[in-house]
Amino acid sequence: MILRHAAPALLGLSLISGPAQALDLNAMSDAEKAEFGTQVREYLLENPEVIIEAINILEERNAAAEADADKELVAANADDLFNDGYSWVGGNPDGDITLVEFMDYRCGYCRRAVPEVATLLESDGNIRLVIKELPILGDASVISSRFAVATKQVAGDDAYKQVHDALLEFSGEPSEVTLRRISDGLGLDSDAIVAAMDSDEVSEEINKSRELAQKLRISGTPSFVLGTEMLRGFLPADQMLQIANGVRAEQG
């Protein structure tokens, strides 16, 4: 029967080539469909690599579609990402590409990312860094972020960076006593910072970062935006550098 010999070849075309080569089962009789089903089963059992190949192609297509969707999200929210007017800016402020980091002080991977980001900025030298506070791991995260943002609003960007670094190294519970100890140790006005922690201005800044994260479909930390690319999770410095160079190449 012609169908018996054609089934494997037609199956391969339908799995790998896509809808344009798909088999029209509606044109078959019930007997032909049953025969075809038997042949398909036999073929797949004898050639399971075809299934793996089809799954790999599907995963590649899904990944490409997700990357394209992420680029659209980044483009639609570019102003809030790169120039919101309140987030701390470091690295090279005049760099040709911007790395935005959404982070949580209680996040272990955020702490692992610290030396990787530092290595990236040092090795490249032309990357601008923007930090977004995204406390998502409970009350301790919220308290830490409120303290950091209050420090920035009261004492400025340099003080914020000092507190930011200290909180990422801090292993205890963030109480008023321990936070005062941090700010006192840095020579900051602890009374003013603690008083500002519950202010509407601090709440507004954190809420804006949360709203932006929701728009970008960010649900975990650390999450990064590097130029036009969304990086959902921890990456070592060398991989981020490759991505940065790829973005530069795309931008010409």
First to last CA, the chain: 57
Average pLDDT over residues 52-67: 75
* Lowest-pLDDT choice from 35-44, 137-146, 160-169, 241-250: 35-44
Residues 144, 105: contact at Cβ < 8 Å?
yes
Of 109 and 30, which is predicted with more confidence?
109
**How many domains are contained in the chain?**
2
pLDDT for res 206: 98
225 and 151 assigned to the same domain:
yes
134 and 27 assigned to the same domain:
no
Question: 23 pLDDT band (50/70/90 cuts)?
Answer: low
Instruction: For residue 177, give the CATH number of its domain.
Output: 3.40.30.10
Average pLDDT over residues 12-41: 67
Convert the pLDDT of each residue in 134-174 to its tens digit: 999 999 999 999 999 999 999 999 999 999 999 999 999 99
121 and 160 assigned to the same domain:
yes
Boundaries of domain holding 11: 2-47
Reply yes or no on whether the pLDDT at 205 is more than 90: yes
233 and 118 assigned to the same domain:
yes
pLDDT for res 59: 75
Of 18 and 111, which is predicted with more confidence?
111
98 and 220 assigned to the same domain:
yes
Residue 68 lies in a domain: no
Q: Of 87, 112, 220, nearest to 169 (Cα)?
A: 112
Residue 244 lies in a domain: yes
Q: How far apart are CA 144 and CA 149, in angstroms?
A: 9
* Lowest-pLDDT choice from 23-27, 77-81, 197-201, 216-220: 23-27
Residues 132, 87: contact at Cβ < 8 Å?
yes
Residue 71 lies in a domain: no
31 and 111 assigned to the same domain:
no
Q: Which residues contact residue 56 at a Cβ distance below 8 angstroms, ignoring those fewer than 6 apart?
A: none
Residue 28 lies in a domain: yes
22 and 122 assigned to the same domain:
no
Residue 39 lies in a domain: yes
Residue 29 lies in a domain: yes
Reply yes or no on whether the pLDDT at 192 is more than 50: yes
Residues 129, 117: contact at Cβ < 8 Å?
yes
pTM: 0.77
Average pLDDT over residues 211-226: 96
Give the DSSP H or E segment for 14: helix 2-16
Reply yes or no on whether the pLDDT at 20 is more than 50: no
115 and 207 assigned to the same domain:
yes
High-pLDDT (> 90) share of the chain, %:
71
204 and 153 assigned to the same domain:
yes
200 and 111 assigned to the same domain:
yes
Residue 12 lies in a domain: yes
pLDDT for res 10: 47
Convert the pLDDT of each residue in 105-115 to its tens digit: 999 999 999 99
97 and 171 assigned to the same domain:
yes
43 and 118 assigned to the same domain:
no
CA–CA–CA angle 136, 141, 144 (5° rounding):
140
Residues 221, 136: contact at Cβ < 8 Å?
yes
Residue 56 lies in a domain: no
